[in-house]
Amino acid sequence: MAIEITMPKFGQTMTEGTIVSWEKQVGEQINKGDVFLKIESDKAVLDVESEHSGVLLKTVAKEGDLVPCGQTIAYIGEQGEQIQPRAGIA
């Protein structure tokens, strides 16, 4: 089953982050610990390391998007896997 990746929360005051760049492209393999995303908080640009291994199946947020913490930004899973979003997620 595909794993839903959400905008991380770095620190108690962070409520949203901006996608600076996707360091991996859809279809690329991601290993646990790989930096696959850079986000900007109100204080700094941060590298986001993957907590899972798999293929980047889909990105929901684009570079430059301001995304609330906890909102879905991508999916990681096995090549060719179908994504089953939670109810209310497009």
Amino acid 87: pLDDT: 53
DSSP state of 87: T
Residue 58 lies in a domain: yes
Of the pLDDT bands very low, low, confident and very high (cuts 50, 70, 90), residue 80 is: confident
Residue 57 lies in a domain: yes
Partner residues linked to 46 by β-bridges: 39
Amino acid 23: pLDDT: 97
- Do 36 and 49 contact (CB within 8 A), yes or no? yes
Of the pLDDT bands very low, low, confident and very high (cuts 50, 70, 90), residue 89 is: very low
Going from the C-alpha of 3 to that of each of 14, 23, 86, the distances in angstroms are 23, 18, 11
- How many domains does the structure of the chain reveal? 1
Other CB atoms within a 10 A radius of the CB of residue 85 amount to: 13
Residue 84 lies in a domain: no
Residue 40 lies in a domain: yes
Please give the residue range of the domain that contains residue 42.
Answer: 3-77
Q: What is the dihedral of CA 48, 54, 59, 64, to 10 degrees?
A: 20
Residue 90 lies in a domain: no
Of all residues in the chain, the percent with pLDDT exceeding 90 is 77
Residue 43 lies in a domain: yes
Residue 36, domain CATH: 2.40.50.100
